[in-house]
Amino acid sequence: MNKQKNKGDAAEREAAKLLAEATGLPVRRKLGAGRTNAAGGDTGDLEGIPKTVIQIASYSNPNVPCLKKPREVELQRKNAKAKFAASIVRWPRVRGPDKWRVVLTIPQFAKLLMAALKK
């Protein structure tokens, strides 16, 4: 198996565990994460958060996924017909759960915020 794929799979499992612990939801890595669905589009890396697509990124330079992944996850959100989308980026050389950051575009954040305010 590919070293980069193993690294990505481990990052997805770690992020899923942290999200499950933080939310109490049954968050887990999708079987075949990163593969296209029957309609031909990727629908994210994690499942278990209702109406939400989550994309995980782990790069040696976090600037790359911070710019790239929020755009990609928006396409995945549309493919999945989900309401919300978020990218979770692992920061290199940082230890513990603080090494993870949620990255959203302003429209992604506004949609999440407006839904929270309606409750």
- Predicted confidence (pLDDT) per residue in 10-40, tens digit: 999 999 999 999 999 999 999 765 555 555 5
- Kindly list the distances between the CA atom of residue 37 and the CA atoms of 25, 52, 76, in Å, as whole numbers in the listed order: 23, 16, 10
Q: Name all domains of the chain by residue range, CATH numbers in brackets.
A: 3-118 (3.40.1350)
pLDDT tens-digit readout, 61-94: 878 878 889 999 999 999 999 999 999 999 888 8
> 103 and 65 in contact (C-beta within 8 Å)?
yes
Contact assessment for residue 96 and residue 62, using Cβ atoms and an 8 Å cutoff: no
Residues contacting residue 71 through CB under 8 Å, at least 6 positions apart? 105
Q: What are the two backbone dihedrals, phi and then psi, of residue 29, each rounded to the nearest 5 degrees? A: -70, 135
